[in-house]
Structures are given as structure tokens and as C-alpha cells.
Amino acid sequence: MASHVAGPDIEKLIKLLARLPGLGPRSARRVALHLIKNKDQLLVPLSEAMRVAVEKVQVCETCGNIDSASPCTICTDTRRDPSVLVVVEDVSDLWALERASVINAAYHVLGGTLSPLDGVGPDDLNIAGLLKRTAKGEIREIILAVNATVEGQTTAHYITDQLQEQAKELKVSNPAYEPIRISQLAHGVPIGGELDYLDEGTLLQAIRSRKAFE
């Protein structure tokens, strides 16, 4: 009786909704009811948006972003500076930087971080794709916008080594070759952050990177 309270079609919908991040069985039922009660205003357009996503959404073969075109909207945006490449771990990081509108550059999504304990090695990330892009000689700066975690920093170091290795080789075939500038995000006290709530590592970094008071 309880297994098919609402008929098999709705139960199936609830079961799938319950697999979305942040939803559980209870909230999935609430969402399903809300969808059904707002059929024309919500269920129909959401169903249609999902159908479009199924048909059109893909991973950009250039940068690893997710979009309905490949190369993606960002890669084909001519108002961006293609000589600056922001390297991120995940598409969600790319979206976060874009939402903040902090830089008008190109991106490269690694698809994770090096994590030997979890069996994630260089070949599991899109590092080869990054080196292919930098080999063309059109990129002047790489901003390693990885998370301030051990894995993020390990990955940043690995990529830096690979880029320096590549720079040496490119210099051999072209003595005029200028190596790519590699930078990383500044670490410190977040805006609005209270020192009391920050960990020692952040505080140490904030002290070490201290700047003249303006």
C-alpha cells in the first residue's frame, strides 16, 4: 500500500527527484506535489527545459565548460581576452567566477584535482588539453584558480611544473619564446570575514601577504 501511495508514475517522479543533491525522500515528495499543483506555470516549462538540456547540453571540447554549444558561449565570446586562461577545478567554479564578473578571460576546466588516495592521477584530469592550448603560444597568463585545499595546491604545483617543462621545450625550438606568466588567487581574510572564525592557515597567509594600508 505505502509503496504506491500516489500511483506508479508519481512515485517514479518522486524517486528520481529524491536523487537530486540537497533533496531527500520527504522534500522530493513536496517538490513533486508542488510541480503537479503548478503544472502549467512550472512542471510544463521545467519538463521542456530538461528535454532541451537532454538534447543540446554538452561539454565544451575546448575548455570543459558545460553549454548547449561546443565550443561554448565563453570560448566563442570575442569580447574576452583569449591570452588569459583561468584554470578551475570544476564547472561550478567557472560559474562562480563568471557570476562575480571578476575577469573577462578564457577558462580551462580540469574536472577535479590530483588525489592519489582517491586514485585520481594527471591522466584523469584535463591537463593534456591545457598543455595543448598553451603549446599554441597565444596564452600569456595562466591564473590557477583552484581551491585553497591540499589537493588544489598539489594540482597547481603539478600544472606549474608541466608548464615550465613545456616552456623549456618551446624555447629550444623558438629562442624568442616568452614563458607564460603563472599566478594564483590571493589568499587571506575574506571580505566581511571575522578573524575569530578563521582557521590558522588563513590567518597565517593573511599576515604573510599583508599589504601597506591605503
Size of the site for a second copy (CB under 8 A): 59
Beta-strand ranges (E) seen in 16-138 are 58-59, 66-67, 81-88, 105-109
Cα(177)–Cα(168) distance, integer angstroms:
9
User: For the chain, how many residues are written?
Assistant: 214
The single residue among 39, 132, 168, 171 that binds a second copy, judged by CB under 8 A, is 39
36 binds, among a second copy, Zn ion, none (CB under 5 to 8 A by kind): a second copy
Cα(156)–Cα(113) distance, integer angstroms:
9
The CB-of-72 to a second copy minimum distance in angstroms stands at: 7
- If one asks whether residue 150 binds a second copy (CB under 8 A), the answer comes out as no
Cα(21)–Cα(126) distance, integer angstroms:
25
54 binds, among Zn ion, a second copy, none (CB under 5 to 8 A by kind): a second copy
Cα(211)–Cα(214) distance, integer angstroms:
9
The CB-of-64 to a second copy minimum distance in angstroms stands at: 12
- If one asks whether residue 106 binds a second copy (CB under 8 A), the answer comes out as no
Cell of 48: 521542456
Question: Which residues sit at the interface with Zn ion, rule CB under 5 A?
Answer: 60, 62-63, 65, 71-72, 75
Q: Give the angle subtended at the CA of 108 by the CAs of 48 and 159, to the nearest 5°.
A: 145
- If one asks whether residue 18 binds a second copy (CB under 8 A), the answer comes out as no
Instruction: Determine contact, residues 61/71, Cβ cutoff 8 Å.
Output: yes
The single residue among 62, 86, 95, 167 that binds a second copy, judged by CB under 8 A, is 95
Task: Determine which helix (DSSP H) or strand (DSSP E) holds 181, and give its type and residue range.
Answer: strand 181-184
Comparing CB distances to a second copy, the nearer of 46 and 204 is 46
Chain residues in the site for a second copy (CB under 8 A) = 1-2, 4-10, 12-13, 16-17, 19-23, 27, 29-37, 39, 42-47, 49-54, 56-57, 65-69, 72-73, 91-92, 94-95, 98-101, 104
